[in-house]
Amino acid sequence: MMEEGSGGGRSNYNRMNDAKNERRVGLIYDQRMCKHRTPYGDDHPEKPDRITVIWNKLELAGIPQRCVILNAKEAKDEYICAVHSKNHVNLIRNISSKEYSKRNRIASKLNSIYLNEGSSESAYLAAGSVIEVAEKVAKGELNSAFAIVRPPGHHAEYDEAMGFCLFNNIAIAASFLLDQRPELGINKILIVDWDVHHGNGTQKTFWSDPRVLFFSVHRHEFGRFYPANFDGFYTMVGEGPGAGYNINVPWENGRCGDADYLAVWDHVLVPVAKEFNPDIILVSAGFDAAFGDPLGGCRLTPHGYSVLLKKLMDFAQGRIVLALEGGYNLDSLANSALACMEVLLEDKPISKLSEAYPFESTWRVIQAVRQMLSAYWPTLADKLPTKLTDQKAPPHILLSSSESDDEDDDASKIISKDLVQAVEDVVEPILNLKIEDYHDEVNSALWRSKLSKTDIWYAGFGSNMWKSRFLCYIEGGQVIGMKKLCSGSVDRNPPKETRWKTFPHRLFFGRDFTQTWGPGGVAFLDPRSNSEDKAYMCLYKITLEQFNDVLLQENVPDHDMNSPLFDLNALDSILNEGSIPVEAVKRGWYHNVVYLGMEDDMPILTMTCPLSAMESFKSGEIPLCAPSKDYADTLVRGLVEGKQLSEEEATTYIQVASTKPL
């Protein structure tokens, strides 16, 4: 193969594979799309490594040598403007040439977006690459293709970048085939979005268009999961000529796996696809529903993805285009992408999935979707037989601790560790994981079980004084003013109790920009006590397991936690030492765990900067900075709703903390 272009893409388009029986599969990857990265070099789930690990995995498996490697091309504005407003296109085109501070101000006003000097080029290449492979497949020059692109696209709306997405790559490609290349005979497109998040931007693009059947299966949790609205609910079916051509399958909970997705394919997507009979299929191929993804919380395996894709190849003569969307566990991302490429190349027969059953909630959602859409798709009108829907996995069991001394009575109400759940947690993934991954999963289950039995008080002194904000770290999501969402804790049970106390520590505000809040300082606490200082803190009674998840999210949210950051030994030590810097997350600003005393015989812990950072704040090496209005308002809400101060008093408290010298 020949090397071509500064972007590192490879071209062998004129060298078709001589094997007549092998499918012609296209592949696009270009290192120039790695230029889009966080402006401060902070770690972030949507990072350049996402596409490089896929490419490296495919190369190790010898996949590129068997594919038609295409050059990435930047999309033309006229094609992008079919999906996005002219203002939005101008913004993304020019954003990388703007000065550093202006870019950050723009990003801070958007939902879960960062921008840098490489963002414009990457966004144009991503959109153009998906157009390129889609056109080749539509022409019949390729049977199928995979565009390994970033930034992803399916959240991007007509006039807004959001959810890591700048341009809606898949929507732009679909619009291009339908409106710019009518001679190709593409009149009906099936878009399958299996990313764990709802493809809100794609849905809105084709909301009234019967030429596009949009299908999205995603974690929804009744609007609590990102993008945290009801656009992804099953009642959203399209309107006007497009009524019935928008299908949402909204999971009520996380942990959905191969059996759940297969049930949706067999009883919703496949029957409708047969009736729709698409000319081509475009897949928003997010791999964040994969087992181990830090943002997704679902359990699809690489084999599961391959089965889903294989079923799609029965339609449109196998003309399928995959465009990368999400996927933030680098191992599961690469393994899942490889599994899909092997399907496109028809490497080997796809074996059946194991005899696992879907959750009861999955059958409930499937039946609701079928009933809602039966008026548009008669194939869905028949009720599923009870014999089928009775085949279900045990329901989710919420873990809880009880203060009752009557163990038998508690056991009759709540099963703390169900045997079948343990099998699902540990045994089921064995066949699909490497040995080291299996040990990681076992270790994770063991330490979480152990730490879930110990309660502590977590003391929030900044935005976490507002309970709604703190619950983002437990339940996931975001509140007003936040620019990015929290993934939440594994155990999503709310705090058992909330209290308020004051402590002799100095509250101050430092740094000048965060990914979560944008420009402005955020709260820190001097780890040293001083009787002349007074800091208000909201105490949340949570488990030590949950404390570990909060500690992770406060510091390096995309880090895999196969072992605890702060275990029982650390808890014993901190009672004597007073504070413990957690080395595993030392890149974070709040990696210093501080012991504040006891309450009801339980330790009170908070997290702030280490003493070394205090000296840097004093010297000016790290800037002191007043908080933004959005951030300050969050603290005010906490203090007022907690009945600690009036709004005027709370505002004064924050103003003094942000102006008083250290």
Whole-number pLDDT of residue 216 = 98
Q: Which has more confidence, 437 or 616? A: 616
pLDDT at residue 427 tops 60: no
Q: Positive or negative, the Cα torsion across 485, 488, 494, 496?
A: negative
**Count of helix runs (H) and strand runs (E) in the chain:** 22, 20
Contacts of 326 (CB under 8 A, 6+ apart): 46, 152, 164, 195, 196, 197, 286, 287, 288, 295, 296
Helix ranges (DSSP H) in 313-406 = 330-344, 360-373, 386-389
Which range, of 152-156, 240-244, 478-482, averages the lowest pLDDT?
Answer: 478-482
Q: What is the distance, to the nearest Å, from the Cα of residue 614 to the centroid of all Cα atoms in its chain?
A: 33
Whole-number pLDDT of residue 466 = 97
Both tokens of residue 109?
A: 């006003």
8 A C-beta contact, residue 33 and residue 150: yes
Whole-number pLDDT of residue 437 = 44
Q: How confident is the model at residue 22 (pLDDT cuts 50, 70, 90)?
A: confident
Closest residue by Cα to residue 255 from 359, 389, 360: 359
Which range, of 10-24, 274-288, 519-533, averages the lowest pLDDT?
Answer: 10-24
Which range, of 16-30, 222-236, 329-343, 378-392, averages the lowest pLDDT?
Answer: 16-30
Both tokens of residue 587?
A: 């890149």
Whole-number pLDDT of residue 395 = 55
Q: What is the pLDDT of residues 339-386, one digit of tens each?
A: 999 999 997 777 776 668 999 999 999 999 999 999 999 999 999 988
Contacts of 507 (CB under 8 A, 6+ apart): 461, 523, 524, 525, 533, 535, 657
Percent of the chain with pLDDT over 70: 88
Ranges assigned E (strand) in 572-647: 579-581, 592-599, 602-608
Cα(179)–Cα(177) distance, rounded to whole angstroms?
Answer: 6
Average of per-residue pLDDT values in the chain: 89
**Top-tier CATH class for 444-659:** alpha beta
Whole-number pLDDT of residue 436 = 45
Q: How confident is the model at residue 65 (pLDDT cuts 50, 70, 90)?
A: very high
Whole-number pLDDT of residue 355 = 66
Taking CA atoms, 557 is separated from 48, 116, 466, 515, 631, in Å, by 17, 21, 20, 12, 20
pLDDT at residue 7 tops 70: no
Q: What is the pLDDT of residues 613-639, one digit of tens each?
A: 999 999 999 999 999 999 999 999 999
- Structure pTM? 0.63
Cα(223)–Cα(475) distance, rounded to whole angstroms?
Answer: 12
Average pLDDT over residues 143-172: 98
Q: What is the pLDDT of residues 546-596, one digit of tens each?
A: 999 999 999 987 666 778 999 999 999 999 999 999 999 999 999 999 999
Both tokens of residue 615?
A: 């000296």
Which range, of 64-68, 114-118, 473-477, averages the lowest pLDDT?
Answer: 473-477
Cα(474)–Cα(486) distance, rounded to whole angstroms?
Answer: 9
303 in catalytic set: no
The label of the residue with tokens 């690469």 reads 334
8 A C-beta contact, residue 280 and residue 323: no
Q: How confident is the model at residue 391 (pLDDT cuts 50, 70, 90)?
A: confident
The label of the residue with tokens 């620019």 reads 483
Whole-number pLDDT of residue 445 = 67
Average pLDDT over residues 290-303: 95
Whole-number pLDDT of residue 344 = 97
Which range, of 83-97, 355-369, 425-439, 543-557, averages the lowest pLDDT?
Answer: 425-439
Contacts of 402 (CB under 8 A, 6+ apart): 410, 413, 414
Q: How confident is the model at residue 18 (pLDDT cuts 50, 70, 90)?
A: very low
8 A C-beta contact, residue 511 and residue 547: no
Q: How confident is the model at residue 118 (pLDDT cuts 50, 70, 90)?
A: very high
Helix ranges (DSSP H) in 376-462 = 386-389, 407-413, 419-426, 435-451
Both tokens of residue 333?
A: 């991302």
Q: What is the distance, to the nearest Å, from the Cα of residue 623 to the centroid of all Cα atoms in its chain?
A: 31
The phi and psi torsions of 256 (rounded to 5 degrees) equal: -70, 140
Whole-number pLDDT of residue 404 = 30
* Amino acid letter for position 177: L
Whole-number pLDDT of residue 389 = 85
Q: With 0-12 CB in 10 A as exposed, 13-18 as middle and 19+ as buried, what is 185?
A: exposed
Fold observed for domain 25-350+358-380: Arginase; Chain A (3.40.800)
| Count of C-beta atoms within a 10 Å radius of residue 418 | 15
8 A C-beta contact, residue 423 and residue 483: no
Closest residue by Cα to residue 341 from 322, 318, 354, 315: 322
Percent of the chain with pLDDT over 90: 77
Catalytic residue among 155, 197, 218, 267: 155
Whole-number pLDDT of residue 15 = 39
Phi-psi region of 496 (alpha: psi -120 to 50; beta: other; left: phi over 0): alpha
Average pLDDT over residues 444-455: 84
Cα(620)–Cα(19) distance, rounded to whole angstroms?
Answer: 66
Q: What is the pLDDT of residues 305-331, one digit of tens each?
A: 999 999 999 999 999 999 999 999 999
Q: Which has more confidence, 352 or 192? A: 192
The residue extents of the domains of the chain are: 25-350+358-380, 444-659
Domains 25-350+358-380 and 444-659 share a fold: no
Which range, of 39-43, 412-416, 611-615, 620-624, averages the lowest pLDDT?
Answer: 412-416
- 50 membership: H or E segment, kind and range: helix 49-60
Closest residue by Cα to residue 212 from 184, 262, 170: 170
